[in-house]
Amino acid sequence: MSDFVQTVREDGIAILTLNRPQTRNAIADDASIQAIVTALAEISADTTLRAAILTGAGPAFCAGGSLQSLGQLAAGEPIVNEQRYRTGIQRIPRAFQQIDIPVIARSTAPPLVPDWTSPACATSALPRPALPLPRVSSSLAW
């Protein structure tokens, strides 16, 4: 079990908690990415599960990628950066695609990064009661 992703199974439901509240559960490095991918693979292989819930510990669901890791990601040649991105953080949405059960993203706070992919990869998103969510519009008035 990873320190970053804690998994609890109960009554056919897996609860995956991103557990680094001091960084608002930011995905900081390859170990963080691997922890999420491994946890998703484990619940995908568990035929006793009917659904999964992904949530975050502390005051935030997930801040997305840490600024430090994003800076390192963009430090090379464009082709190298693209490959690093594809073989790094993009493993998370691919892991979500392999799961045959519904995955619910359980938000604990308003999103800090509206384009973070894990809630988007989930089957559905469920905010905590009375959570004010920002209004998102696709119209950019070009």
Per-residue pLDDT averaged across 96-110, rounded? 84
**Residue located via tokens 């840490």:** 66
Whether residue 128 is predicted with pLDDT greater than 60 in this model: the reply is no
Residue 142 lies in a domain: no
Q: Is residue 138 part of a domain?
A: no
Tally of domains within the chain:
1
- pTM for the model stands at 0.75
**Mean pLDDT calculated for residue range 101-122:** 66
| pLDDT for the residue numbered 59 | 84
- Residue 137 binned pLDDT confidence (cut-offs 50, 70, 90): very low
**Most confident residue range from 48-52, 63-67, 75-79, 118-122:** 48-52
- Does residue 80 lie in a domain region? yes
Pairing of strands 103-107, 13-18: unpaired
60: pLDDT strictly greater than 50: yes
62-101 confidence digits (pLDDT tens): 877 777 766 666 677 888 878 877 888 889 989 999 999 9
- Supply the DSSP symbol for 16: E
Q: Where are the alpha helices (DSSP H) in the chain?
A: 30-45, 67-73, 78-87, 91-97, 117-121
H-run or E-run covering 52: strand 51-56
Tell me 21's DSSP state. Answer: G
Specify if 135 maps to a domain: no
Residue written as token pair 């510990």: 57
What pLDDT does residue 138 have?
Answer: 44
SS3 for 7? strand
Judge whether 137 lies within some domain.
no
Provide the CATH number for the domain around residue 10.
Answer: 3.90.226.10
Q: What is the mean pLDDT of residues 46-53?
A: 95
| Inside any domain, residue 136 | no
- Domain with 97, as residue range(s), is 5-127
